[in-house]
Structure 1
Amino acid sequence: MGWIFPHSILIVSLISLTTLASYSHAADSEDFDGIGLSYFEQSSVDKSDSEFVHYLMPEDDVQSFLTSVLELPPLPELPKPKPEEEKPVEPTPEEVEKPKDAKKDEKPKEEEEDTYGYFDYVPYGQYYHVDYWFGKAKWKNSAELGLNGQTGNTESNSLRVGAKIKREGDATVFSADIRHLRTSDKDGLTQNNAYVKHKLEWPLKIHEKWSLFEKTDVEYDEFKAFDMRLVFNGGVSYKPYKTDATDWTLSIGSGFSQEYGSPQKGIIPEATLGSELTHQITEKQSFQIKFEFFPAFEANQGYRSVTDASYTIALDHGLSLKLSAEDRYDSTPNNRKRNDLDYACLLIWQF
Structure 2
Amino acid sequence: MIIRLSSFPLLMCSSIDRPRTPAPTSGRSPTGHGVYRRRLPGRGAWASFVARYRTLTGRAKARRRPHSPDSASRPDLASRTRGARPLGPITPEGEPMSLLEHVSRPLTGALAGITMIGMVGAAQAQDVVEPPAGNNANAVDAEAEAPPPFLDLTSWDGSVEFGLTGSSGNNERISLRAALGLVRTTEEIESALRIVYRYAKEDGNETDNRLLTTIRNDWLMPDTPWRAWARAELDIDEFQQWDARWSIAGGPGYEAIDTDRTFLLLRAGLGLTQTVGGGSENKITPEGVLGFDFTQKLSERQNIFANFDFFPALDEIGPYRFVAIAGWEILVDPDLNMTLKVGIEDRYDSRPGDGFKRNDFDYYVTLVWSF
TM-score of Structure 1 vs Structure 2, range by shorter chain = 0.5 to 0.7
TM-aligned CA deviation for residue 150 of structure 1: 0.4
Map of 1:220 onto structure 2: 236
Select which of 225, 245, 250 maps to 1:234: 250
Question: C-alpha offsets along residues 232-266 of structure 1, whole Å, 9 cap, x if unaligned?
Answer: 01100001111011110000000100111142222
2:295 alignment partner AA:
T
TM-aligned CA deviation for residue 301 of structure 1: 6.5
1:326 alignment partner AA:
E
Partners of 2:172 and 2:204 within 8 A in 1? no
2:262 alignment partner AA:
T
Residue 338, structure 1, aligned to residue 355, structure 2: no
Map of 1:274 onto structure 2: 291
TM-aligned CA deviation for residue 115 of structure 1: 12
Secondary structure of 2:275's partner? strand
Select which of 280, 292, 312 maps to 1:263: 280
User: Equivalences for 1:65-214 in 2 at 5 Å?
Assistant: 130-131=151-152, 137=155, 139-205=156-222, 207-214=223-230
Question: C-alpha offsets along residues 63-100 of structure 1, whole Å, 9 cap, x if unaligned?
Answer: xxxxxxxxxxxxxxxxxxxxxxxxxxxxxxxxxxxxxx
Secondary structure of 2:353's partner? coil
- TM-score (structure 2 length as normaliser): 0.58
1:239 alignment partner AA:
E
Map of 1:319 onto structure 2: 338
User: Equivalences for 1:279-294 in 2 at 5 Å?
Assistant: 279-294=296-311
Counterpart-to-counterpart distance in 1, 2:215 and 2:298: 27
Q: CA RMSD in A?
A: 2.3
TM-aligned CA deviation for residue 164 of structure 1: 1.1
Counterpart-to-counterpart distance in 2, 1:170 and 1:213: 15
1:159 alignment partner AA:
L
Partners of 2:162 and 2:178 within 8 A in 1? yes
Q: Which moved more, 1:260-269 or 1:247-256?
A: 260-269
Map of 2:36 onto structure 1: none
Counterpart-to-counterpart distance in 2, 1:193 and 1:300: 29
1:346 alignment partner AA:
T
Runs (5+) with no aligned partner, structure 2: 1-140
User: Equivalences for 1:287-302 in 2 at 5 Å?
Assistant: 287-299=304-316, 302=319
Residue 349, structure 1, aligned to residue 369, structure 2: yes
- TM-score (structure 1 length as normaliser): 0.61
Secondary structure of 2:239's partner? coil
Structure 2 CA distance for partners of 1:115 and 1:180, relative to 1, 3 Å? farther
Partners of 1:301 and 1:332 within 8 A in 2? no
Counterpart-to-counterpart distance in 2, 1:213 and 1:188: 41
Q: Percent identity, aligned pairs only?
A: 32
Question: C-alpha offsets along residues 11-64 of structure 1, whole Å, 9 cap, x if unaligned?
Answer: xxxxxxxxxxxxxxxxxxxxxxxxxxxxxxxxxxxxxxxxxxxxxxxxxxxxxx
Secondary structure of 1:130's partner? coil
Counterpart-to-counterpart distance in 1, 2:181 and 2:331: 16
Partners of 1:229 and 1:257 within 8 A in 2? yes
TM-aligned CA deviation for residue 204 of structure 1: 2.0
Q: Which moved more, 1:297-306 or 1:171-180?
A: 297-306
Partners of 1:159 and 1:181 within 8 A in 2? yes
User: Which 4+ runs in 1 deviate beyond 3 A?
Assistant: 113-116
Secondary structure of 1:315's partner? strand
Counterpart-to-counterpart distance in 2, 1:328 and 1:248: 21
Question: C-alpha offsets along residues 111-147 of structure 1, whole Å, 9 cap, x if unaligned?
Answer: xx9899xxxxx7xxxx8x6249xxx95x331110000
Counterpart-to-counterpart distance in 2, 1:150 and 1:227: 29
Structure 2 CA distance for partners of 1:114 and 1:281, relative to 1, 3 Å? farther
Counterpart-to-counterpart distance in 2, 1:208 and 1:173: 15
Partners of 1:320 and 1:348 within 8 A in 2? yes
Secondary structure of 1:230's partner? strand
Counterpart-to-counterpart distance in 1, 2:146 and 2:178: 26
Runs (5+) with no aligned partner, structure 1: 1-109, 117-121
1:140 alignment partner AA:
D
Select which of 329, 341, 344 maps to 2:348: 329
Counterpart-to-counterpart distance in 1, 2:263 and 2:281: 38
Structure 2 CA distance for partners of 1:296 and 1:212, relative to 1, 3 Å? same
Structure 2 CA distance for partners of 1:114 and 1:282, relative to 1, 3 Å? farther
